[in-house]
Structure 1
């Protein structure tokens, strides 16, 4: 007959396994609130099981350590969110595989320790900035016979922040475009009507009036095209995600340029780091974003009297895939760099800024980003980042 404590432990293990599966599914679907709730349940179950293990260990003779092979740790390793424990006066410990990968350790956490200790000790902040990303922090304090210790789960919300930023910009552009077009359309129509009224008239005054109305009509048409370009950003569809190898995607996009006879005088270099993982991307959208940035890089080298060079690199970190596009053109002025990704900003004499903004919108919609880097090795370096999930 199964004893009551063992039955309770078995049920808790089953609940932990189900909670781990729930968290994994929530992370894959980007349902961060559900993931945080599931992680909290996992923390409570883990605390319960740890309390039982400590009590059993106190009542049993010593045995050889089992490492991470016991059922509790096996289930915890299936949770895609990093789990951390902290005993009073001790150092934070990586509890599961996700935490060990994030902090690059087998047990005690060294990398990022100061930021983590600050977040885990009162007064606690519900968020943590670590390794260039924002994490939501869920804490649970556990009382055992050996004293209290804290359990924490980290939920990477940086991708969700990027997605919200993209959605906010789309909504803003949609409202602005609608309101401006509502006012601009009648102005353009009235200018054309007034010019028709003036057509039978002669004299210097009528000529000046016709010229003014022609200018007004032409500027209205130009502004309409400009607004239409930004309204296209607001209509960007949600990405249709499929597993894509970033290196292969960059190779395919770059072939459009290397096979173009008009670009025979440009040197294109591509470096793909070993071990770059597959990521979930909308291949068509990301391909267009890459084309926009590579085109900008090519155009930036037009004034070069010597070598024209565009270099691409595909690399990865534990959290992101990074695609760098560098050129040896004249660079971007410091006065422009700070506001480069602001709406309507452009570095071209007759540009609208939509190409760069579209590329960043696409990256943001994927939970990634597009940034301008400061690297002395090249005049201008843009970098896409796309999150590695799973």
Structure 2
């Protein structure tokens, strides 16, 4: 059985371009193993293209690639860590390499996720990179259109950009908070100072109106002081430094964080750590603070409950380690769910709304996320990507 080489060559050329971009990006991020993999796969594709073109008898006629050459192309495509998808009019999308088959859970025809994938592939302009949400992650779709014996065919690459988008979101929020807190503090500080000065002047005077003015100034001073403390607490998010990443055993880290809670909180802690988890590149001090914030909320949520229990698990996700923290409290109020991770959102009388927000910003800065998991116990899940 023979293959028309035109499609094979175009597939190889697209794959070569993808591998070049992948190797460059891996090198930029210091992921040397991925960069070497990209370079080797790219060299293999170059060899394939050179050999098949040299076998053409007549430049004006399409060459025929035998099953062995086609098999070699499929082997090379399987080395690509980026999912590659084929879509033609009148038929469903198909997975062209191992990464695509793993992502969509299929050997060929894509069913699960096709309702999101097909509109993105067919609607994308060649050369653009629209972003779609697929299986809880964000993918940039790169599309090329070719002509084959069967008509127009679209080839699409799906590049996972969840980490980059999360980092960008975290950086943008930190910049915004820094500017806002700076401007608010600049305006608030003289207000509090002038209120104190005016109060001291009025202390030397007497009369009903003077007394009322003094009380108003004291109230103004107290409110200004309260707001100053609030802004200072929230500045911790804006001042969050870039994480210093080192390989960390997430299971060991969680066990160490839980130990003092178990000894002092009066809450029963159940901790499970899956075996064989990969080490994760983390800033240990930052992630520790993020986990502590969520654990503190979990412990406080169980106050007044007969069954005071917090369940913590560390397991594997899709190219990630997932830390889940569940509690037996009454749950998150419906009115708070939509703004749960928003600045200043809190249901506590003396809360500042910084705990969960800071925890999520730390997770985002690591290319991961912190989310509320629906159903069952109140559960928050940290997703921390495994890189390299």
Using structure 1 for the length normalisation, give the TM-score: 0.80
Residue aligning to 1:142: 146
Do structure 1's residue 381 and structure 2's residue 372 form an aligned pair? no
Do structure 1's residue 224 and structure 2's residue 231 form an aligned pair? no
Selected match of 2:187 from 177, 183, 202: 183
Q: For residue 185 of structure 2, give the secondary structure of its aligned residue in structure 1.
A: helix
Residue aligning to 1:342: 342
Residue aligning to 1:20: 19
Q: Is the 8 A contact 1:241 1:282 kept in 2?
A: yes
Aligned residues: 362
Q: Is the 8 A contact 2:302 2:329 kept in 1?
A: yes
CA–CA distance in structure 1, aligned partners of residues 148 and 302 of structure 2: 66
Are residues 301 and 29 of structure 1, via their aligned partners in 2, closer, same or farther at CA, if it must alter by over 3 Å?
Answer: farther
Q: For residue 242 of structure 2, give the secondary structure of its aligned residue in structure 1.
A: coil
Residue aligning to 1:278: 279
1:148 to partner: Cα distance: 4.8
1:311 to partner: Cα distance: 0.6
1:277-296 to 2 correspondences below 5 Å: 277-296=278-297
CA–CA distance in structure 1, aligned partners of residues 12 and 328 of structure 2: 58
Are residues 175 and 15 of structure 1, via their aligned partners in 2, closer, same or farther at CA, if it must alter by over 3 Å?
Answer: closer
Residue aligning to 1:311: 311
1:121 to partner: Cα distance: 2.8
CA–CA distance in structure 1, aligned partners of residues 67 and 334 of structure 2: 65
1:84 to partner: Cα distance: 2.0
Q: Is the 8 A contact 1:102 1:318 kept in 2?
A: no
Output the aligned Cα RMSD.
Answer: 3.7
Greater mean alpha carbon deviation, residues 248-257 or residues 86-95? 86-95
**C-alpha deviations, 1:285-310, integer Å up to 9, x for none?**
11110000001100111111x22100
Residue aligning to 1:118: 119
Q: Is the 8 A contact 2:124 2:143 kept in 1?
A: no
Are residues 375 and 50 of structure 1, via their aligned partners in 2, closer, same or farther at CA, if it must alter by over 3 Å?
Answer: farther
Selected match of 2:169 from 165, 174, 178: 165
Residue aligning to 1:84: 85
Residue aligning to 1:321: 321
Q: Is the 8 A contact 2:52 2:65 kept in 1?
A: no
Gaps spanning 5+ residues in structure 2: where?
1-7
Q: Is the 8 A contact 1:24 1:79 kept in 2?
A: no
Q: Is the 8 A contact 1:246 1:278 kept in 2?
A: yes
1:312 to partner: Cα distance: 1.1
CA–CA distance in structure 2, aligned partners of residues 369 and 88 of structure 1: 37
Q: Is the 8 A contact 1:20 1:76 kept in 2?
A: no
Are residues 244 and 106 of structure 1, via their aligned partners in 2, closer, same or farther at CA, if it must alter by over 3 Å?
Answer: farther
Residue aligning to 1:4: none
Q: For residue 347 of structure 1, give the secondary structure of its aligned residue in structure 2.
A: coil
**C-alpha deviations, 1:323-361, integer Å up to 9, x for none?**
211111122211122222221111211111111111011
Q: For residue 121 of structure 1, give the secondary structure of its aligned residue in structure 2.
A: helix
Greater mean alpha carbon deviation, residues 99-108 or residues 226-235? 99-108
Q: Is the 8 A contact 1:326 1:381 kept in 2?
A: yes
Using structure 2 for the length normalisation, give the TM-score: 0.80
Selected match of 2:156 from 120, 137, 152: 152
Residue aligning to 2:201: 197
Gaps spanning 5+ residues in structure 1: where?
1-8
Selected match of 2:258 from 246, 254, 269: 254
Selected match of 2:219 from 215, 218, 223: 215
**C-alpha deviations, 1:221-273, integer Å up to 9, x for none?**
11111111112211100111222232222122112312x3x32x311011223
Greater mean alpha carbon deviation, residues 290-299 or residues 216-225? 216-225
Q: For residue 179 of structure 1, give the secondary structure of its aligned residue in structure 2.
A: helix
Residue aligning to 1:96: 97
Greater mean alpha carbon deviation, residues 178-187 or residues 107-116? 107-116
Q: Is the 8 A contact 2:124 2:130 kept in 1?
A: no
Do structure 1's residue 128 and structure 2's residue 132 form an aligned pair? yes
CA–CA distance in structure 2, aligned partners of residues 61 and 210 of structure 1: 93
1:386 to partner: Cα distance: 2.1
